[in-house]
Structure 1
Amino acid sequence: MNRIRIVIVDDHALVRMGLTTLICDRPDMQVVGEASNLTQALRVIEETQPQIVLMDIRMPGESGIEATRQIVQRFPQTRVIILTSYSDDELVMRAIHAGASGYVLKQADNDVLLDAIQTVARGESLLDPATTTRLLHFVREMERKAEQNAFRDLSERELSVLAELAKGKTNAEIGRTLHLSEKTVRNHVSVILEKLHLSNRVELATYAVEHHIFDLVKRD
């Protein structure tokens, strides 16, 4: 049986000891190294070539997130599972962005961690179940804010003009819809182009649709 090779990175010796004891009871897993900081971790990983690193997210000096980033860059065949006592949505996002393949709370049952190791070793990714719903909400909220910020410099009138432009209307058609002169519409379009740092109507329309302008302005 090919055993899953694991390195534990945590600045608390008792935590490393507990994890080692838990893992060594499994015939399909083995702890091949330990480290208490990033420098040690990089050396041990280079020496042992583990499949999995169990990484404490908060350590003295370099954070577990920065350690994860460096490990993933230097050892692409090694996958990192973040361990933390903190159920923090921002930390989850930062850990994933750094390249972590898993995120498990230290309070989780032993079986949850062991299952996580097996899952990530198979090439899959996971999050602690308790964080998944909040993470999805967090992502949706960030997307919503990004969409709002995409048009934050536009006035209500400019937003209305842009929405009509995104429907493919000419300046004259926009003017008739919004009860504006064609010259006024043209001036609004010029200002919108400048505010959004875009070059032409096609770019404007594409930008508006990609940022869901019709969620902000009711579409007829």
Structure 2
Amino acid sequence: MKRLRILVVDDHEVVRLGIRLLLQGRPGFELVGEAENGAQAVALVERLRPDLVILDVRLPDGDGLEVCAEITRQHPEVQVLILTAYPDEEFLVRAIEAGAAGYVLKRAGSRELLQALEALARGEAILDPAVTRKLLEQFRRARAAHVEAFKDLTPRELQILVRIAEGKTNREIAEELFLTEKTVRNYVSIILDKLGLSNRVEAAAYALKHRIHDYVKEEPSGGSPGRS
């Protein structure tokens, strides 16, 4: 396994010391530097060019996830492992968006941290199981809410609502679905009534808010939609 050159960024000296002792004598790892804030981290990445940065979320001079984004933007070859005390799915999502290759909680044991580092050395992504479970549960709840949002609409009404969300006129909808404009207007009225909405703008906003394009899967020909 390639020797992984590591930079540790954390404002707590005891955390840096713990990681230093953990890596000491490990043949696959080399601790090349330590930083206690974001500015130091960015400068050391530029100077030392580590393979991996172990980065805390909370830093004295700002948001660690912004530092992560800056590092991955300037040096896409450098991996970032977020090591944090916060088991919050919002931080996990932001970390992924910032380009982090891994997310591990500080309460993880030495063995779990070493396993994460070894996985990253192999090019794998690592997410803490506890936070991942919370995130998946959040997605499941959101999915259930979206399904509930459209449960009273027929497949044809869903087809029309999709096109309302896309900003299409009654005429355009009628041409696509081989209907008359009057029929489309009737469908629009029924949709508004079922959803308790006042107009097409509200209907479009409602459809987009509840991610109708994820809920409705249509055939290329514009045939009947299926529910995913």
**2:158 corresponds to which of 160, 163, 166:** 163
Change (3 A) 1:79 1:48: same
Q: Which moved more, 1:128-137 or 1:42-51?
A: 128-137
Listed as ranges, the gaps of 5+ residues in structure 2 are 163-175, 192-198, 218-225
Q: CA deviation at 1:140?
A: 3.1
Amino acid across the alignment from 2:215:
H
Identity of aligned residues (%): 35
- Correspondence for 2:25: 25
- What root-mean-square deviation, in Å, do the aligned CA atoms of Structure 1 and Structure 2 show? 3.6
**Alpha-carbon offset, residue 208 of structure 1:** 8.5
Query: Residues 171 and 192 (structure 1 numbering): CA distance in 2 closer, same or farther, change over 3 Å?
Result: farther
1:211 counterpart SS class: helix
Q: Structure 1: where are the runs of 5+ without partners?
A: 176-180, 198-203
Confirm or deny: 8 A CA contact 2:82 2:100 kept in the other structure.
yes
Q: Which residue of 1 aligns with 2:140?
A: 140
- Partner of 2:123, secondary structure, is coil
1:196 aligns with 2:199: no
Residue 103 in 1 paired to residue 103 in 2? yes
Q: CA deviation at 1:96?
A: 1.0
Residue 178 of structure 1 aligns with which residue? none
Match of 1:210 among 171, 188, 213: 213
Assess if the C-alpha contact under 8 Å between 1:161 and 1:185 holds in 2. Answer: no
8 Å Cα contact 1:171-1:186 kept in structure 2: no
Q: Is the 8 A contact 1:162 1:208 kept in 2?
A: no
Per-residue deviation at 1:30?
Answer: 0.9
Aligned residues: 195
Corresponding residue for residue 50 of structure 1: 50
Equivalent residues of 1:57, 1:63 under 8 A apart: yes
Q: Could you tell which deviates more after superposition, 112-121 or 133-142?
A: 133-142
CA contact (8 A) 1:10 1:59 kept: yes
